[in-house]
Structure 1
Amino acid sequence: MQISNSSTADISEIFRLYESATAFQKTKYILHWPKFETSLIENEIAENRQWKITMDGKTACVWATTFDDPQIWEERNADPAVYIHRIATNPEFKGQNMVANIVAWAKEYAEENGKTYVRLDTVGQNESLIKHYTKMGFTFLGLYDLKHTDQLPAHYQGNPVSLFELLV
């Protein structure tokens, strides 16, 4: 297993994994990811914030990070944290606990960058994700109505978010 930054050569695979994740979400939940803009992914890659796990020569999982997430975390954004977004696992690697690998990596990444927390969110009250993330060591902070969603992807509009954090 190798964790590294994604490159522009990975963009089509990133979108394939997003489409697969969205298709799965549509079978289980009312809320699902919208189609993301290519420019969003290109910017994350240029800023070294788009990541991948590679196993057996294949992309097993992708996700994005940021150190600043004020529209979701509001006043808590002042805390030193790394924020994880859009975890998408290749269906060929389902059940291999990619989130546990990301969490272990994120704790080290946070420490290396002087951060105290690893944080993530999910839209809505997704009980299976709440259970999964708390099993991975995150504290479920509750369900929140966001005040400023105008610059967030469409699935955040008018929907509460579940917030999670892990003290490093």
Structure 2
Amino acid sequence: MQIINGTPADIGIIFSLYDAGTLLQKKVAQKHWLGFDRALIEKEIQEKRLWKIVAGNQIVCVFSIAFEDPYIWQEKDKDPSIYIHRIATHPDFRGNGYVKKIVEWARTYAAGNGKEFIRMDTGSGNDRLNSYYVSCGFTYLGIVATEDTPELPAHYKGGTSSLFEIAL
């Protein structure tokens, strides 16, 4: 297994993983992704912020990172942090603990880049997912309401998010 940067050649697979993730969210959560702008994904690839987990020759999981997230984290965004976004696992590889592998990778990456926190958010109301993130080492910090702003993907509009953090 390797965690390496995504490439432009991966875009089709990335979007198929997002589609599969959306289908799962529709089954188990109150909130689901509403699609992502291709330009956003291309920008993350160009900026080397989109990562893929490869097992053998197959992309089994993707995720993105950011170094700021002010619309979600508000005042806490001033802390030196990395933010993990859009974890999507291939349906045939769910249950293999990829979030724990991402956390392990993120601890090293964050420390090497002068960050003090690893953070993530998810739509509120999915207690099973919240418990899973806690089992991966995150501390649950509570719920925040998100403002309607064009800077956030559509699934944030008019909703709340559960916040998670690991202090390094």
TM-score range, shorter chain: over 0.9
Q: Residue type matched to 2:60 in 1?
A: A
- The answer to whether the Cα contact below 8 Å between 1:6 and 1:52 also exists between their aligned partners in 2 is yes
The percent identity for this pair of structures is 47
- 5 Å matches for 1:18-167? 18-147=18-147, 149-167=149-167
Asked whether the equivalents of residues 148 and 156 of structure 2 are also in contact (C-alpha less than 8 Å), the reply is no
> How many pairs does the alignment contain?
168
Residue 114 of structure 1, CA deviation: 0.2
RMSD value over aligned CA atoms? 0.9
CA contact (8 A) 2:30 2:125 kept: no
Q: Is the 8 A contact 1:22 1:33 kept in 2?
A: yes
Alignment TM-score, normalising by the size of structure 1: 0.97
Stretches of 4+ aligned residues off by more than 4 angstroms? none
1:52 aligned partner, one-letter code:
K
Q: 2:2 corresponds to which residue?
A: 2
2:165 alignment partner AA: E
What SS is found at the alignment partner of 2:86? strand
Give the Cα–Cα distance (whole angstroms) in 1 for the partners of residues 105 and 152 of structure 2: 26
Question: What is the DSSP-based 3-state SS (H/G/I as helix, E as strand, rest coil) of the residue aligned with 1:115?
Answer: coil
> How far 1:150 sits from its partner (Å)?
3.3
Return 5+ residue gaps in structure 1 as ranges.
none
CA-CA distance at 1:51 after TM superposition: 0.2
Q: Is the 1:125–1:143 contact (alpha carbons within 8 Å) kept by the matching residues of 2?
A: no
Q: Distance in 2 between matches of 1:158 and 1:99?
A: 27
Q: Give the secondary structure class of the aligned counterpart of 1:100.
A: helix
Partner Cα distance (1:125, 1:11) in 2: 30
Instruction: Name the TM-score, length of structure 2 as normaliser.
Output: 0.97
